[in-house]
Amino acid sequence: MNEKNSTLLIYTLLYFGFLYVPVLFLPIFSFNDADYMSFPLAGFTTEHYEEMWSKRNLHKALWASIKVGVVASVVSTIIALFAAKAFARYKFRGNKISYGAIMMPFLIPEIILAVAILIIWVNLGFKLGLIPVTIGHTLFCTPFAMLILIARIEGFDFSLEEASRDLGENAWGTFFRVSFPLYFPGIIAALLLSFIISFDEFILAFFLTGSDATLPMYMWGQMRFVQRLPHVLALGAVIIVFTTFFVLLAFWLRNVGQEKAKKDIGIKL
């Protein structure tokens, strides 16, 4: 592996460009002093940000997204944590079927999930709103959270839990005093990533929110018909910064946790 391959390197960097440039345009044009998004750039301004700040509907939608995101990420992480423990720790019958079943929301086009939940919700007589969206998001985030947690738990030394039981702790005590502290970085990573997925999610919200908009719904409303809405760009830029921060945090936590755990557990026999 001593060779350097400059063609591949150049290609890779170009590909990076391809991936990043569209994303970077949003912040660029959000400071652009014009209503149209084209080159050449007109001039620097922060007025779009000020405009964004003043829109009440935007704030409502933002708050709705946060509420949904927090509930969905917490619930799906808890559910995924127990499920991940089952898969990583026990050999049992129906292992593969259960795994496939829980992964299913991940393996089906979202629109089908949206349609299905819409039908049952409406026919049960309930109103559309944030609640069915939260249910849908919880369903959709659970497989993601589970993947992260299984990877984390698989590296976990189960004799630590056995030792705790041997020393007199029951199952709950063991969880709180031993398992949870050691899973913690993985749990945080799962929470953060689930939150981001929910925060970002469009199609389930589209079908299920009715009149309570989540943030993606708000953006959709602004984007769909009118071209000249730079304050949406400002919003987009802000979201990009925040999401990036949270993602980096989640990855850092996940890796830091695992490095420490590997060192501490010591001799692997």
Q: Does 98 bind another protein (CB under 8 A)?
A: yes
Q: Does 62 bind another protein (CB under 8 A)?
A: no
- Least separation in angstroms between residue 269's CB and another protein is 5
Instruction: Give min distance, CB of 60 to another protein, in A.
Output: 18
* Positions 34 through 53 that interact with another protein (CB under 8 A): 36-40
Q: Which of residues 118-177 bind another protein (CB under 8 A)?
A: 118-120, 123, 135-136, 138-139, 142, 146, 157, 159-160, 162-170, 173, 177
- Part in contact with another protein (CB under 8 A); list of ranges 10-18, 42-50, 55-63, 66-74: 10-18
- Nearest distance from C-beta of residue 119 to another protein, angstroms: 5
**What's the CA gap between 217 and 150, in Å, rounded?**
32
Which lies closer to another protein via its Cβ, residue 212 or residue 229? 229
- Does position 29 bind another protein by CB under 8 A? yes
Among residues 212 and 234, whose Cβ is nearest to another protein? 234
Among 78, 131, 151, 188, binds another protein (CB under 8 A): 78
Q: 121-154 burial, b if ≥16 CB within 10 A, otherwise e? A: beeeeeebebbbbbbbbbbbbbbbbbbbbbebbe
**Interface residues for another protein in 214-233 (CB under 8 A)?**
216, 219-220, 223-224, 232
